[in-house]
Structures are given as structure tokens and as C-alpha cells.
Amino acid sequence: MNEKMSMSMEIKSEWIEAFKNVFSLCEIKKSEKVIILSESSSRRVNIEIAKIALGILSIDYTLLEVKSKMNEGPLKVSTGASNALNGQDFTIKMLLESDVIVDLTCEGLMHSEATGKILKSSTRIMNISNESPEILCRLTPKIDMKEKVKNSLEAFRSAKNMNIKSESGTDLIVSVEGSPIVGVWGWTNRPGTLAHWPGGLVACFPGENTTNGTIVFSPGDINLTFKKYFESEVKCIVRNDFITEVQGKSLDAKLMRRYFESFKDANTYAVSHVGWGLNSEARYEAISMYEKHEINGTELRVIQGNFLFSTGANEFANRFTEGHFDLPMMDCLIELDGAIIVKDGKIFC
Ligand SMILES: [Fe+2]
């Protein structure tokens, strides 16, 4: 679907209901300062739906749109690391003074350099993933997701070590003790927090020198930067947080190596976040159903029982880079201090 078509797309009443539902869960009050933040490449239909839904709820808002930046580095469809606010001091100042940001930027503010500062100002950020509204509507947050995420958070935050294994040879150990661990259930009503929709995820941003071992991507695992499923095995060696080798002669291995190299930035190879998905309604086959520009892949990040391994920006380790791979791996065994947490796609906490 091209941009012209998306602009003329009929807005369905159920999409408006879904947006209203999320804003209601965020408990946005009429007295709060709300900013709808977008960029020139944002999906226009979602901006329109957000405006309509807030209007129905009688919530005033300010529209703030920044110009999308040109690709300065290598080509990209999606990296997961937003540069929309880089150098936008005037915009950031306004965001700092707001109570709620309805984040409709293309990549979302999850890994943006400005995000830490914005959250410290007690602003809450509700990121609506740059997806087709059909996907958002299908994955409208359910109340029970909060409890599922909280259960996983409790287990994760009380653990010292996380171990991930797979039949194809993945064997990674992450010392998670003391590292920030976040949970996303799909909405936020708490000042100074960020949520994304679709939600259903826990993620740890490991500190320095905490991650070691081997990752073996198998056919059927997912590369969300390329928006494709792995069709062959790719082995990555991880030493003290950094991928030191991407092994294999397959096309998947070559593509990953080339993309990593193209950033000419050591931080691109570092571990960004590790965690697992909790959304049983997220569909594994989704990226085979859409054109690449129609989908952002957040649905795949939250698939129940996937091990989400990501490289690149890790704001908690003070590493910033535009190179970011989100790599959901299926059928991994995840253990916390030796206790099984995820096995065969099922959650045991
Ligand atoms: Fe990520």
C-alpha cells in the first residue's frame, strides 16, 4: 500500500475504538498536556485515528511533527532505533513540558537518545507502533497482560543469571543482576514510563561485560530489521557483550555481516536487550502476510515464548548507534538461575 492509498484509507470504527481503549487505559486526563508526536514519514492514518479518538474522549492535544531524517548511514527499512528527535532541541523542550506523548514516530522512542531525559521529566510515552491499524486493532491490549508481564518481571528481577539454550547450539549466559529490566503490557498510566502497543514483553538491558556465549539462529527465527525469517543457520559468537564473529556461508549470514559492517560503529555489534515475549495473540506468520513497508514487526517481538535477542543501542549501558537488530528466536529454553522460565513456547512463571 503506498502513502497515497493509506491517506485515503477508510478509517474503520473498530480502529477508533482500539485507540480509545488504549488512551483510556493510559488514564489520560483532560487537564493533562498531550502531544501527538509524529514525523513526516509516519503512517498518516494512525495520526488521524489518534486525533479522532482523543477528540471523542474530549482530550485536547497538540500536534507536533518533525521532518524525518534522511538515511545518513546504510540503507534501512527499519532499525528500531529512532533518530527523529536527534538535534531537535526545540521539540524536545516541548516534550519535556508535556504529560503524555502519543508517540507515532516511525521507529518509536524506545531507543532514542532523548528518551531518558523525557522520562526523567515525568512525561509518560505511549508508543503506538508504526503498524497497519488492522494489526493494532487485532492486538488491542487485554487487561490480563499486565499480570502476565508482572509475573515475568518478578522472576526476571530477582534472578542473577539468565541462560538461553537451543537444540541448534545456542548457549548464552547473561548476568542480569543489577541491570535494568522493563516490562511492557501495552499501555502506561504511570509518569516517567514508556509503553508500546502491541505489548507483552519483558526485556533486560544488560550492563557492561555481562553477556557471553553463542547464539545460533535457525531457519524460522526472525530478523526484524530485514523483516524476514531466517532460512539458514547463522552462528554468532558473543564475548563480553559484543558479537565478535558472524559465522556461516549462507545468504542470511552474509546479509547480517554486511549490514553490521556498514555502520562502521563498534556499538552496532553490542547486545542491546534480551528478554521474552508474552503475547499469545501475536501471530508468528504475520510478516509473511504484509509488504515490508506495511509492517513494523512489533507483533513479532512480543510472540509468546520467543527469546528476543537484540543488538545495538542500549541506553542503559550508554551505547547509542543506529544499527539495531531485533531478532526473535523461537523454541529456545530460557532459564533463570537454573529454573525453567520458557520452554517450547510456554511460560513457567
Ligand atoms: Fe529493540
Q: Same domain for 34 and 97? A: yes
- Residue 76: what pLDDT? 59
Q: Same domain for 8 and 94? A: yes
Q: Same domain for 114 and 247? A: no
Question: Each residue of 39-76: pLDDT tens digit?
Answer: 999 999 999 999 999 999 999 999 999 999 876 666 65
pLDDT at residue 6 greater than cutoff 60: no
What is the whole-number distance in angstroms between the Cα of residue 5 and the centre of ligand 1? 29
What is the whole-number distance in angstroms between the Cα of residue 310 and the centre of ligand 1? 6
Q: Same domain for 127 and 109? A: yes
Q: Same domain for 54 and 112? A: yes
Range of the domain at 25: 3-138
Q: Same domain for 229 and 112? A: no
Q: List the CATH number of the domain containing 71.
A: 3.40.50.2300
Q: Same domain for 129 and 227? A: no
Flag whether 188 is in a domain.
no
The pTM for the full model equals 0.91
Which residues are found with C-beta within 5 Å of the ion, ligand 1? 80, 310, 326
Q: Same domain for 342 and 302? A: yes
What is the whole-number distance in angstroms between the Cα of residue 312 and the centre of ligand 1? 8
What is the whole-number distance in angstroms between the Cα of residue 30 and the centre of ligand 1? 32
Q: Same domain for 262 and 223? A: yes
What is the whole-number distance in angstroms between the Cα of residue 276 and the centre of ligand 1? 12
pLDDT at residue 189 greater than cutoff 50: yes
How would you write the chain as a 3-class SS string?
CCHHHHHCCCCCHHHHHHHHHHHHHCCCCCCCCEEEEEECCCCHHHHHHHHHHHHHCCCCCEEEEECCCCCCCCCCCCCCCCCCCCCCHHHHHHHHCCCEEEECCCCCCCCCCCHHHHHHCCCEEEEECCCCHHHHHHCCCCCHHHHHHHHHHHHHHCCCEEEEECCCCCEEEEECCCCCEEEECCCCCCCCCEEEECCCEEEECCCCCCEEEEEEECCCCEECCCCEECCCCEEEEEECCEEEEEECCCHHHHHHHHHHHHCCCHHHHEEEEEEEECECCCCHHHHHCCCHHHCCCHHHHCECCCEEEEECCEHHHCECCCCCEEEEECCCEEEECCEEEEECCEECC
What is the whole-number distance in angstroms between the Cα of residue 324 and the centre of ligand 1? 7
